[in-house]
Amino acid sequence: MTDAASVVPTLSVTGLQKSYGPTVALGGVDLTILPGEVHAILGENGAGKSTLVKILSGVVTPDSGTAALVGLPYKPQSILHARAQGVATAFQELSLLPNLTVAENLALPRLEKGRSRLISRRDNEDCAAATLDRYGLQLHPRAQVSQLSLADRQRLEIVRAMSKGPKLLILDEPTAVLSSTDWLFALIRAETARGTSVLYISHRLNEIRELCARGTVLRSGRSIATTDLRQTDDAAIFEMMVGSSLATFSRDRSRINRVTKSRLKVTDLHAGAIKAASFEVAVGGIVGVAGLDGQGQGDLFHALFGLTAIESGTIRIDGETVRIKSPSQALKAGIEVCLLPEERKTHGIFPTLSVQKNVTLGALGKVSTLGVIRRARGLKLMKSVAREVDLADRYFNFQIGELSGGNQQKALLARVLSTGARALLLFDPTRGVDVGTKQAIYEAIQRYAAAGGAVLLYSSELSEIVQLCDQCLVVYDGRIVAQLEGEEIEERRIVAAATGHLDRSNTGRAA
């Protein structure tokens, strides 16, 4: 029997540090990953996880500290150098090139050369088809990446990393846009059975517990501890991550029975993939939308905000029928959408503008006179909405692109709240943020609803819908196949409806 102490770690990191001027991104990280292990990295947004990934992937060079890969010094100078040594990364901020095909992206970072010419397109596509088949990804090799859903782009990013045959596979928030983990987890287990080690970064503790026996917690750029996750409960992990205990968050489901006035009422809506959708969101109500990838939930939100053409059906706000053909008409009707777009960095923020400018763009009429921005008004509004989302004043003048993902998400929610809209459409508002930021966003949503607002919320995390919502609409094949209320909202019923296995006697009211 092999002595565990004699096993050479796949990766060993000691005292890793990185600073950008006075800002310390990593202040000392130590961790060890064993062969065939799925090792978790846990921490809040801004804890140093992204910097650690960039260093191990060869994107960034550390200021000090050492790393060893299978016992040999590891100092990658680029992504190509890291891959050549056996480290492949599937990045959270996707590294695919949207103007290229699936096959061309799989062949990156370089298209293989024959003896005298580039490999033929047909050979490259045949190779891509074999790779896609091996990993169970049903995409056409000639498909343009820009035309793929974000979930399929994430899967392609993962497959490309796995196909390099790495010694160490780094997965950075790999399920942030995936509604099901079955495909990925099966691949991970197959990889580790062959001896591949996996560094797994996720804010979803249930996933981490399913995959990982050990995890390293980062806080403020330092490794706090490597812990046996089987012996450590969620409260203890959270306390290590933030240095304090997690406050209890609960939802008073009985409140829906006390609400009678409808704020948003949709009747027989046909738009894009959505067919005959009918539902209501009450004043003070939070209604969740659940569904697997590509079932039409995106078209529902886009239609309500004027981004997808409405073929038929009616929309009423406070009993008044409204016509919504553009976002400006939606705003006039009292709706504001926070798609917190699936790709926050490309569709949500203006990265070179300050946080304050990004936020107040949502309410220019409130902070300007005759088209001239009034600085005092802008600052007053900014402070007001920043308090609602727990965004620190010191970030106001930062370029928003410099903030962690969690703080960017808070700023986007603040932008929506600044409009004073009567109804909010929130599309996956906590995707890829840490548990502390999630709680701040939950509380902001609940305060908004309690003050008389109405919220329609899509989430890829079913636990979020269970925790936060009064009602849940389940979308399958473009139709709302179930409407769950109160205590009926639980994951088993949602999954049954979302996969087309609707038991009408036990799965809430059929739509």
pLDDT of residue 344: 63
> Does the residue 341 lie in any domain?
no
Give the integer Cα–Cα distance in Å for 409 and 297: 21
CA distance between the termini of the chain: 59
> Does the residue 278 lie in any domain?
yes
Edge-to-edge strand order for the sheet containing 38-42? 72-73, 64-69, 11-20, 23-33, 222-228, 214-219, 38-42, 197-201, 168-172, 87-90
Q: How many residues does the chain have?
A: 511
Return the SS3 of 142: coil
Closest CA to 33 of 65, 56, 8, 57: 8
Q: Which of 223, 242, 261 is the last residue of a domain?
A: 242
Q: Are 477 and 295 contacting, i.e. CB atoms less than 8 angstroms apart?
A: yes
Q: Are 161 and 106 contacting, i.e. CB atoms less than 8 angstroms apart?
A: no
In this structure, the answer to whether residues 238 and 374 fall within a common structural domain is: no
Give the integer Cα–Cα distance in Å for 284 and 454: 5
Location of structure tokens 């109405």: 454
Walk along the chain (511 residues) in steps of 10 and give the mean pLDDT of each run. Answer: 69 94 87 97 84 94 96 95 95 85 85 51 91 95 91 94 95 84 95 96 88 93 94 86 61 52 94 95 94 85 90 93 85 65 66 88 68 74 90 90 85 88 89 82 93 92 89 93 90 82 50 44
Q: What pTM did the predictor assign?
A: 0.66
Q: Are 75 and 146 contacting, i.e. CB atoms less than 8 angstroms apart?
A: no
> Does the residue 476 lie in any domain?
yes
> Does the residue 347 lie in any domain?
no
> Does the residue 339 lie in any domain?
no
pLDDT tens digit sequence for 318-330: 999 998 888 888 8
In this structure, the answer to whether residues 451 and 373 fall within a common structural domain is: no
In this structure, the answer to whether residues 27 and 87 fall within a common structural domain is: yes
pLDDT tens digit sequence for 298-323: 899 999 988 899 999 999 999 999 98
Q: Are 429 and 409 contacting, i.e. CB atoms less than 8 angstroms apart?
A: yes
Instruction: For residue 282, give the CATH number of its domain.
Output: 3.40.50.300
> Does the residue 2 lie in any domain?
no
In this structure, the answer to whether residues 22 and 139 fall within a common structural domain is: yes
In this structure, the answer to whether residues 215 and 158 fall within a common structural domain is: yes
In this structure, the answer to whether residues 18 and 148 fall within a common structural domain is: yes
pLDDT of residue 492: 82
pLDDT of residue 505: 42
Give the integer Cα–Cα distance in Å for 288 and 457: 5
In this structure, the answer to whether residues 116 and 221 fall within a common structural domain is: yes
Give the count of beta carbons closer than 10 Å to the beta carbon of residue 123. 13
In this structure, the answer to whether residues 430 and 293 fall within a common structural domain is: yes
pLDDT of residue 245: 56
In this structure, the answer to whether residues 128 and 213 fall within a common structural domain is: yes
Q: Give the DSSP per-residue string, 269-289.
A: EEETTEEEEEEEEETT-EEEE
> Does the residue 226 lie in any domain?
yes
Residue 502's domain comprises: 251-334+422-511
> Does the residue 509 lie in any domain?
yes
Give the integer Cα–Cα distance in Å for 167 and 191: 10
Return the SS3 of 360: helix
In this structure, the answer to whether residues 442 and 358 fall within a common structural domain is: no
pLDDT tens digit sequence for 321-377: 998 888 888 877 777 654 555 566 666 788 888 998 888 877 766 766 655 667 777
Q: 428 is written with which tokens? A: 């996956």
pLDDT of residue 175: 86
In this structure, the answer to whether residues 158 and 190 fall within a common structural domain is: yes
Q: Which of 196, 213, 242 is the last residue of a domain?
A: 242
In this structure, the answer to whether residues 230 and 140 fall within a common structural domain is: yes
pLDDT of residue 372: 62
Give the integer Cα–Cα distance in Å for 507 and 365: 45
HSE on the CB side for 351, CA within 13 Å? 9
What is the number of domains present in the chain? Answer: 3
Q: Are 340 and 426 contacting, i.e. CB atoms less than 8 angstroms apart?
A: yes
Q: Which of 420, 435, 460 is the last residue of a domain?
A: 420
